[in-house]
Amino acid sequence: MLESFSYQRVLARGFALVSDTSDNALLAAADVKPGMDLQIQFHDGKVAANATGKAAKKPKKDDGKQGNLL
């Protein structure tokens, strides 16, 4: 049961864990600054990376209304 909740199982499904060089998890694109050194952990190991450019724009918040279809 414990194994099914392991983050390594999530990584094995194709996800990655992004952290700074101090192993602090980065949970949002806004946490990453241009030029920042990163670590990306995959199910089979880590790679070093460097952020270039700026974060993509945040999607609009859903106001709960469907809106017009036509």
pTM over 0.85: no
pLDDT for position 64: 73
pLDDT for position 55: 66
Average pLDDT over residues 11-38: 93
Whether 10 shows a pLDDT value over 90: the answer reads no
pLDDT for position 5: 76
Which long-range contacts link 33-42 to residues 24+ away (Cβ below 8 Å)? 40/16, 41/11, 41/16, 41/17, 42/11, 42/16
Quickly state the pLDDT bin for 22 (edges 50, 70, 90): very high
Residue 53 carries which side chain, given as an amino acid letter?
Answer: G
Q: Please list, in sequence order, all residues whose beta carbon lies within 8 angstroms of the beta carbon of residue 52, skipping any fewer than 6 positions away.
A: 34, 35
